[in-house]
């Protein structure tokens, strides 16, 4: 399957999808040291997002989340890329300052955790 999106931060990468239908708060919701989702009762609670193509509707919570993404990139615990339904400033600015490819305007229901994803420009290849 091929999905077209809108580039927020350009970059070409390949990896495995980890999908959340709930928004993610990087500040307080993710442990930057381990890359683990720590928000109580979040559908991905306990999952490691490091090295994954992280798929979720949009960010939420404090704008400090921007710096958490940056910290994760420096620590090597960041996701490989981010795919959003509607990107908002916390994630957009975070991916730009951290050089993490990011695409939005994507119907994320079409992607399942474990799918093999390849991102080239504004195009997402799913299990292709």
Partner 1 sequence: MIITKEEEMMLNGERGEGVQKAMEIIVALGKIYGAKNLIKIESAHISGVSYKNLGDEGLEFLEEIANTGVKVSVKTTLNPAGIDLDFWETLGFKRDFAEKQIKIIKAYEKMGVKTTCTCTPYLTENKPKLGKHVAWGESSAIIYVNSVLGARTNRESGISALASAITGRTANYGLHLDENRLADYKINVKCEVKGISDFGALGYLIGKKIGNKIPYIIGVKSASLDELKALGAAMAASGAIGLFHIEGITPETNMKKMIKENAEEIEITSLKEAYETLNSDVKDIDLVSIGCPHTSINEITEIARLIRGRKIKTELWITTSRYLYNEAKKLGLIDVINEAGGKVIRDTCIIVAPIEDLGFKTLATNSGKMALLAPLHSKVKVRFGNLNQCIKAALEGEWIDN
Which secondary-structure segment (H or E) carries 75?
helix 65-75
Closest CA to 86 of 102, 67, 106, 110: 106
- Using CB under 8 A as the binding rule, whether residue 106 contacts partner 1 is answered as no
Which residue(s) pair with 13 in the sheet? 119
CB of 68 to partner 1, least distance (A): 6
By beta-carbon proximity to partner 1, the closer residue of 26 and 124 is: 26
- Using CB under 8 A as the binding rule, whether residue 97 contacts partner 1 is answered as yes
Cα separation, 81 vs 79, in Å, equals 5
Q: How large is the greatest C-alpha to C-alpha distance in the chain, in angstroms?
A: 36
- In the window 22-61, what residues touch partner 1 (CB under 8 A)? 32
Is 113 a residue of the active site?
A: no
- Using CB under 8 A as the binding rule, whether residue 66 contacts partner 1 is answered as yes
Q: Which of 20, 62, 98, 113 is catalytic?
A: 62
Cα separation, 51 vs 81, in Å, equals 8
Position among 54, 68, 106, 108 found at the interface with partner 1 (CB under 8 A): 68
- In the window 76-95, what residues touch partner 1 (CB under 8 A)? 86-89, 92-93
DSSP for residue 69: H
> Would you name the residues annotated as active-site residues?
62
């Amino acid at each position: 399957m091929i999905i077209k999106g809108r580039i927020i931060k350009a970059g070409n990468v390949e990896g495995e999808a980890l999908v959340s239908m709930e928004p993610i708060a990087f500040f307080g919701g993710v442990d930057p040291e381990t890359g683990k989702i720590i928000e109580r009762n979040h559908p991905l609670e306990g999952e490691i997002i490091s090295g994954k193509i992280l798929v979720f509707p949009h960010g939420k919570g404090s704008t400090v989340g921007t710096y958490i993404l940056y910290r994760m990139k420096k620590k090597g615990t960041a996701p490989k890329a981010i795919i959003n339904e509607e990107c908002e400033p916390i994630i957009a600015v975070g991916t730009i300052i951290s050089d993490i490819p990011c695409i939005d305007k994507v119907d994320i229901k079409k992607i399942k955790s474990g799918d093999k994803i390849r991102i080239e420009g504004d195009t997402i290849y799913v299990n292709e």
